[in-house]
């Protein structure tokens, strides 16, 4: 499309989305990637295209190892996740946010702080596409599961809508818990790229348990806002509950298959400190260092 045609299309699409969703929150107007849905949607389509074509491209090529890049990437996401968790916690305390229900307009300057960090949370979902690209380059195609792709693709799009309509208030809780889990998760991946550290990585299994607890707590906290409403839009609450239930089912299925149905030889490998993947993810390991027939990554 030419520039004018694209601008016209963006305008028409925005009008359609706004007629469906209602007025947007003006506090995020002009923020990177938020004014128009097309960039987020296009980046998701590009991600799915790479997921589909990447393994075919790599089929007759040697897997690539990025040990140094993997350490830096996972360290970067660990630090970003810690920053988001810290900022969300301090923002919630500053604004006196309620666990049971919090609207998007009563937190004063704390709302602005929450909006800023939640934009980074949205943007981090784009950065995390790299998880899958590393799988492709290292030919770990068995790690590219439905759950892995579904979770990555949907989160970026969901959070584009969240940022445009409910960028603070009750939206804080799930992002706060998820950021904390990601501190543990990406630190594990980064450390697993260092061979001498692998025997000491014992918390792999508990990350998946933490994710399941995160989803359950988010359902409970979201349901509170339905039972004791405060003006936060009910449509968002019902959607959040539905999405969390979907993730509980998918992650629980992954957890059972990964940790409850291992044969003795696999269990021994885990007990010996092998850095096998957690949540379907082993991006800290080079392909040549990992055990065969590893369990897929879910996140």
pLDDT digits (tens, 9 = 90+) for 26-73: 999 999 999 999 999 999 999 999 999 999 999 999 999 888 999 999
243 domain-assigned = yes
Range of the domain at 166: 25-271+278-283
Cα–Cα dist 231/225, whole Å = 9
178 has pLDDT over 70: yes
More confident call, 201 vs 80: 80
80 domain-assigned = yes
Q: Write down the pLDDT at residue 1.
A: 56
11 domain-assigned = no
On average, the pLDDT of the chain sits at 88
Dihedral of CA atoms 19, 16, 128, 131 in degrees, nearest 10, equals: 130
Active site residue 11: no
Q: With cut-offs at 50, 70 and 90, classify the pLDDT of residue 168.
A: very high
Q: With cut-offs at 50, 70 and 90, classify the pLDDT of residue 6.
A: confident
Q: With cut-offs at 50, 70 and 90, classify the pLDDT of residue 289.
A: very low
- Tokens at residue 178, please? 């998820």
pTM: 0.88
- The predicted model gives 239-253 an average pLDDT of 97
Q: Write down the pLDDT at residue 283.
A: 55
270 has pLDDT over 50: no
1 domain-assigned = no
Is residue 127 exposed (0-12), middle (13-18) or buried (19+ Cβ within 10 Å)?
middle
Q: With cut-offs at 50, 70 and 90, classify the pLDDT of residue 199.
A: confident
2 domain-assigned = no
From the list 276, 224, 214, the residue with the least C-alpha distance to 247 is 214
144 domain-assigned = yes
State how many domains the chain has.
1
How many C-beta neighbours within 10 Å does residue 277 have? 26
Q: Write down the pLDDT at residue 290.
A: 40
6 domain-assigned = no
197 domain-assigned = yes
Please identify which of the residues 151, 170, 182, 281 carries the catalytic annotation: 151
């Amino acid at each position: 499309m030419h520039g004018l045609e694209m601008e016209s299309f963006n305008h028409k699409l925005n009008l359609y989305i706004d007629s469906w969703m209602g007025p947007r929150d003006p506090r995020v107007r002009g923020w990177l990637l938020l004014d128009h849905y097309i960039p987020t949607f296009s980046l998701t389509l590009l991600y799915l295209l790479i997921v589909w074509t990447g393994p075919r491209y790599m089929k007759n090529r040697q897997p690539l190892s990025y040990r140094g890049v993997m350490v830096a990437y996972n360290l970067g996401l660990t630090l970003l996740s810690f920053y988001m968790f810290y900022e969300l916690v301090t923002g919630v305390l500053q604004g006196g946010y309620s666990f049971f229900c919090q609207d998007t307009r009563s937190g004063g300057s704390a709302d602005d702080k929450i909006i800023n960090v939640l934009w980074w949370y949205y943007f981090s979902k784009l950065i995390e596409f790299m998880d899958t690209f590393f799988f492709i380059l290292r030919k770990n195609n068995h790690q590219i599961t439905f759950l892995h792709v579904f979770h990555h693709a949907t989160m970026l799009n969901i959070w584009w809508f969240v940022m445009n309509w409910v960028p603070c208030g009750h939206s804080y809780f799930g992002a706060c818990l998820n950021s904390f889990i990601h501190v543990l998760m990406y630190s594990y991946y980064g450390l697993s790229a260092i061979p001498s550290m692998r025997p000491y990585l014992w918390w792999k299994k508990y990350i998946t348990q933490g994710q399941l607890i995160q989803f359950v707590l988010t359902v409970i906290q979201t349901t509170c806002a339905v039972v004791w409403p405060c003006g936060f839009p009910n449509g968002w609450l019902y959607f959040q509950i539905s999405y969390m239930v979907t993730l509980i089912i998918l992650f629980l299925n992954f957890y059972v298959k990964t940790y409850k149905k291992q044969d003795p030889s696999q269990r021994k490998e885990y007990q010996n400190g092998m850095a096998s993947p957690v949540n379907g993810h082993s991006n800290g390991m080079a392909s040549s260092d990992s055990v065969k027939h590893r369990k897929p990554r879910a996140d």
